Amino acid sequence: MWFPETSALVTLAVHLPLQQAVVAVLSAHPLVLVKAVVAELEELAMTSDITATWAGAALSQLDWLPEPVPLDDPVGVELAVSLQEEIASGRPLKHPMEHFGEAAVISLACRAQRLKPLMLCDDYNARVAAKNHGVEPLSVHKLLHLMIRQGKVTAAEAAGFADALHAAGRAQDYTAQELSSGRLARVGQP
């Protein structure tokens, strides 16, 4: 079961063809959208951050996902608050919901092990936290690597998506060869 998270939805919103390719693949799987992710996107869209426009676009592209589910209170919320602190690592939050989307996803997903939860996430620190709580995380670039390996896109198409993300300042530059081999440094880990 896939749990798309705030940072990944922002990444997908940067380049519509990328978003369409990922939606085509993930729509075949059970998906969960957590309400906190939507709330974080809404909060992010109101900031003056460079990602505000993409967050706004992401909010208008949620129709491929099911109705957002709330986090159970108090157990899930309390765990999410603690995870938010863990991911923030003492740094001041740019807005109250920063990191709460991924924290809420981990909080919910880590207690649903039977469903083999997968978190699509472009925040390295959140991926580390997810892995350490039994949730398998994937960045959008790692997903592109899998899509190449399983014949869902060609390496050239994936490189085109990566180029668009790089040109927008959303990611480092990755070649078709790096995407094919999976040697993706930070975005390939964990």
Partner 1 sequence: MLAWLGVEPNTVSERAVIALMEHFGVSMAALIYQLNIIGVLSYDDGQQLRSRGVTSLIERHRDVAPSGAATTASHIRRPPERLTRQALASAQEQRLGLSVLASLLERDDDEQLWQEIMASQTQATASTDIVL
Tokens 């309400």 appear where? Answer: 35
By beta-carbon proximity to partner 1, the closer residue of 56 and 190 is: 190
Q: Is 145 in the site for partner 1 (CB under 8 A)?
A: yes
Phi-psi map region of 116: left, alpha, beta (phi>0 left; psi -120 to 50 alpha): left
Tokens 């109101």 appear where? Answer: 46
Q: Is 132 in the site for partner 1 (CB under 8 A)?
A: yes
Q: Is 65 in the site for partner 1 (CB under 8 A)?
A: no
Taking the C-alpha atoms of residue 102 and residue 120, their distance in angstroms, rounded to an integer, is 9
Strand-pair partners of 137: 119
**Beta-strand relationship, 136-138 and 118-120:** parallel
According to CB under 8 A, which one of 129, 140, 158, 165 is a site residue for partner 1? 129
Using CB under 8 A, count the residues that bind partner 1: 37
- Contacts to partner 1 by CB under 8 A: 25-26, 28-29, 86-91, 118, 124-126, 128-129, 131-132, 136, 138, 141-142, 145-147, 150, 152, 172, 181-186, 188-190
